[in-house]
Amino acid sequence: MSEYLQRVAKLEQDAEQRAALYSTGSQVVRAGPGSGKTYLLTTKIAKTLLEATVRFPQKVACVTFSRRLAADLTGELELLGVYDPTQVYVGTIHSFCIAEIIMPMTHLLARDKFPSPFRIASDEESYAAINTALSNQNIGPVPFDKRINNIKTNLDNYRKHCFVAATDSFAHTTYEANGFSKYRLSSINWSLFASDYQVALMSHDPPSLDFVQVEMLALWLAQNDSTLAMTLAAAYPWLFIDEYQDLSPLFHQLITSLLAAQQITVFAIGDPNQCIYEELQGSKPHFLSELAQQIECATGNKPITLQTNYRSTQNIIDIGSAVLGRSTGYKASHAEPGRCHVIFIDQAQREEAVRRALRRLVGESNTTSLISGQVAVLSPRRKVQERLWQALEQDTSCLIAIDEHPQYPQKTELSAWLLELARWYAGGQSYFHKLIPFWLQTNRSIYGACNERQQADLVENLFSVLYALRASDLTLNHWLSALAEGLHLDSLLEDYARLRPGDVMEWRALYYKVNSSAECSYSVQQFAQLNTKVFLTTLHSSKGLEFDAAILLGLDEIIDSDSIPELKSRLAYVAVTRARTHLYVFLSRADSPIAQQLRKQPEHLLKCWDYRNGNLERRTHLLS
């Protein structure tokens, strides 16, 4: 039986998943943690393609929040045997807006709206444009640190919420900012600030846009050009959207306007309880409900809620409800209880306690470990994560991976591609065909369209260089140098810097770092983070991941949001629900609200402990 038919058979055993799979027309699915969201979404896409609901030259589009999630969706579609770029588009919101909405319409855009060639500003260029815009309102320059990053976040959210596509302007001159911006920018005209910032980016040599402008431009085009909307719907009659609750207000407007015109069919899946980027990205948990209401009014299709959690044990599910502050009603698919512990500990002892917990969970070998899979350590902030990584890196009893290496940043597409090259070289789970698209795309963006012979030559050169390197055991600095020489990356990236300066700056920082004396012995395998048992990440970045065991640090250290009180609870809920069978919550404040809430839970759900001088002592529960 094919992978597709096996999945259909499994989905048919769950009433809600079966209803979503066989739904017709636009549909919203509420899918909590571990409910089989990705499994359902990709099988639904496969069903749409295999049953010829969409026929060539039409395609289906599947968009999501991040490159990592897009890569996961692509992998699932490959397993199903339906991933064909001529039939299905999978990517982030920004890549979809650029490739399918903006680029086909560049000939209609005025020069002050679109840079030629198309270019995304680096962080430094964005910060400089912010200071230029602030100077127009007699505000002095802000250093390029967390303060200007806070201003950029607030500026992005203002534009996402206040942009009016019909008039190509902003609706309000005031804005309720948070953090540093709340005090430094209390009296500015936000509409003027946003306009001047965008003018500064376009006036730069070379001119550029940022990613919020990409969404603004896509929305403006879709709402003001009926031909584009019809063309988009003709090319992509079905649009699948993952993690809808995390999408920006601009993309939400784009989808609802296309739906209102009855031009596309939308299958959207998400969970309002996991909306954790509200302050950072401007997303709103009620967007999914708004979309569901619009679809129900237009088609009669009510939203479907998946009720079963196939990941976590029931006590972990119940602890998730406790930190969220309300029952989710989800039920575990299996009866086995998990091991859940709350440990009260002084912060000074936390790293040693985590090390001991990891040794117990991972063990010295498979015969001594409590779990067979991976353990995650989740921290509230990057600085906590980095300190822990430095403390654990020298511990050879367990191999450590980190989602954002403190010394080797991997935020850009170029860095993500280099990481995949390293994994292929080191024999990890990476396939050569996945390395090709970015290589061809980069060369096309610099040198223009390539014919089939030229594309074949580029692919052959990439394979030849990588395969020749694979025969040798190189340190990271020698591997990067050989890679740069074989692929002529120096000249290529010099041209690429005109289009994606942030990508090239990150490459150069990596290249310089690994060639410093302290880092010369770092291996490609370490860089590729292969065969690791322990994964370090932040509470925010853990979303969409799952692990046999999760160690949560600092749930009582999450900073309260003045404007969004429930955000803290949602973030804690996301963190708790990453665990399958083992959950350890380390708290430093016994009087914190989350500590009080957890201590009210019955002992059959979790055990409470005090950690003092390397010893654990049972702590009594607070019975409500």
Burial 511-536 (b: 16+ CB within 10 A, else e): bebbeeeeeeebebbbbbbbebbbbb
Q: Tell me: pLDDT of 372 over 80.
A: no
pLDDT (tens digit per residue) in 8-52? 999 999 999 999 999 999 999 999 999 999 999 999 999 999 998
Please identify which residue in the block is written with the tokens 């973030």.
571
From 206, 259, 264, select the one nearest 235 (Cα to Cα). Answer: 264
Compute, in degrees rounded to 10, the torsion defined by CA atoms 520, 525, 531, 537. Answer: 60
How many C-beta atoms lie closer than 10 Å to residue 408's C-beta? Answer: 20
Residue 385: other Cβ atoms inside 10 A: 23
pLDDT above 80: residue 531 = no
Final residue in a domain of this structure, among 309, 343, 369: 309
pLDDT for res 365:
45
- Residue 386 · residue 406 · CB < 8 Å: yes
φ, ψ for residue 615 (rounded to 5)? -120, 150
Residue 461 has a CB neighbour count (10 Å cut-off) of 14
Q: In this structure, is residue 186 part of a structural domain?
A: yes
Mean pLDDT of the chain: 89
The answer to whether position 233 is within a domain reads yes
Residues 6 or more apart whose Cβ sits within 8 Å of residue 249? 160, 161, 282, 283, 284, 287
Backbone angles phi, psi at 617, to 5 degrees: -125, 135
322 with 392, same domain: the answer is yes
Identify the sign of the CA torsion 326, 332, 335, 337. negative
Asked if residue 609 belongs to a domain, the reply is yes
pLDDT band at 363 (very low <50, low <70, confident <90, very high): low
Q: So what's the pLDDT on residue 613?
A: 80
Residue by residue, what is the 3-state secondary structure of 79-121?
Answer: HCCCCCCCCEEEEEHHHHHHHHHHHHHHHHCCCCCCCCCCCEC
Burial class (CB in 10 A: 0-12, 13-18, 19+), 574: buried
Task: Tell me what pLDDT residue 624 has.
Answer: 42
Q: Is residue 545 part of a domain?
A: yes
Q: Where are the beta strands (DSSP E) in 258-414?
A: 265-270, 304-306, 308-309, 331-332, 339-345, 375-379, 400-402
Look at residue 110 and tell me if it is in a domain: no
Span 534-579, pLDDT tens digits: 899 999 999 989 999 999 999 998 888 777 889 999 999 999 999 9
> What's the one-letter identity of residue 102?
I
Is there a single domain that holds both residue 509 and residue 420?
Answer: yes
Question: Is residue 624, in this structure, part of any structural domain at all?
Answer: no
pTM over 0.85: yes
The pLDDT score that the predictor gives to residue 374 is: 86
Reported as a single tens digit per residue, the pLDDT across 102-149 is 988 887 777 778 888 889 999 999 999 999 999 999 999 999 999 999
The whole-angstrom separation of Cα 618 and Cα 168 is 62
Residues 322 and 393 in one domain: yes
Distance in angstroms (rounded) separating the CA atoms of residues 308 and 36 = 9
- What SS3 string covers 33-73? CCCCHHHHHHHHHHHHHHCCCCCCCCCEEEEECCHHHHHHH
b/e per residue, 44-82, with b = 16+ CB within 10 A?
A: bbbbbbeeeebeeeebbbbbbbbbebbbbbbbbbbebeb
What's the number of domains the chain is made of?
4
Are 391 and 499 contained in the same domain?
no
Q: Based on the domain organization, do 320 and 298 belong to the same domain?
A: no
Claim to verify: residue 166 and residue 141 sit in the same structural domain: yes
Same-domain check for residues 335 and 236:
no
Instruction: Please state the three-class secondary structure of 123-187 as a single string.
Output: HHHHHHHHHHHHHCCCCCCCCCCHHHHHHHHHHHHHHHHHEECCCCEECCCCCCCCCHHHHHCCC
Q: Are residues 52 and 199 in the same domain?
A: no
CATH number of domain containing 328: 3.40.50.300
Quickly state the pLDDT bin for 530 (edges 50, 70, 90). Answer: confident
Confidence of residue 395 (pLDDT cuts 50, 70, 90): low
Cα separation, 595 vs 557, whole angstroms: 11
Helix, strand, or coil (residue 536): strand
Distances (CA, A) of 521 to 426, 525, 574: 16, 11, 37
- Tell me the backbone φ, ψ of residue 61, rounded to 5 degrees: -115, 140
Higher pLDDT, residue 377 or 523: 377
Q: Report the pLDDT value the prediction gives residue 219, as an integer from 0 to 100.
A: 94
Domain boundary among 255, 288, 309: 309
Is residue 208 domain-resident? no
Which of 560, 548, 559, 568 lies closest to 323 in space, CA to CA?
A: 568
Closest CA to 178 of 276, 280, 249: 280
Same domain membership, residue 517 and residue 417: yes
User: Which range marks the domain in which residue 53 is found?
Assistant: 3-104+217-309
pLDDT of residue 520 exceeding 70, the answer is no
Domain end position, chosen among 309, 344, 361: 309
Q: For residues 97 and 61, is the Cβ–Cβ distance under 8 A?
A: no
Tens digits of per-residue pLDDT, 38-93?
Answer: 999 999 999 999 998 888 889 999 999 888 889 899 999 999 999 998 999 999 99
Does 366 have pLDDT greater than 60?
Answer: no
Question: CA 399 to CA 314: how far, in whole Å?
Answer: 30
Q: Which residue has the tokens 């450590």?
A: 400
Return d(Cα 398, Cα 604) in angstroms, integer.
30
Say if residue 305 is in the same domain as residue 336.
Answer: no
pLDDT the model gives residue 409: 64
pLDDT in tens, 297-354: 999 999 999 999 999 999 999 999 999 999 999 999 988 889 999 999 998 888 888 8
Report which residue type is found at 20. A
Whether residue 550 is found in the same domain as residue 573: yes
Res 100 pLDDT > 50: yes
In a domain, 117, yes or no: no
Q: Is the dihedral of CA 577, 578, 582, 587 positive or negative?
A: negative
The verdict on 84 and 231 lying in the same domain is yes
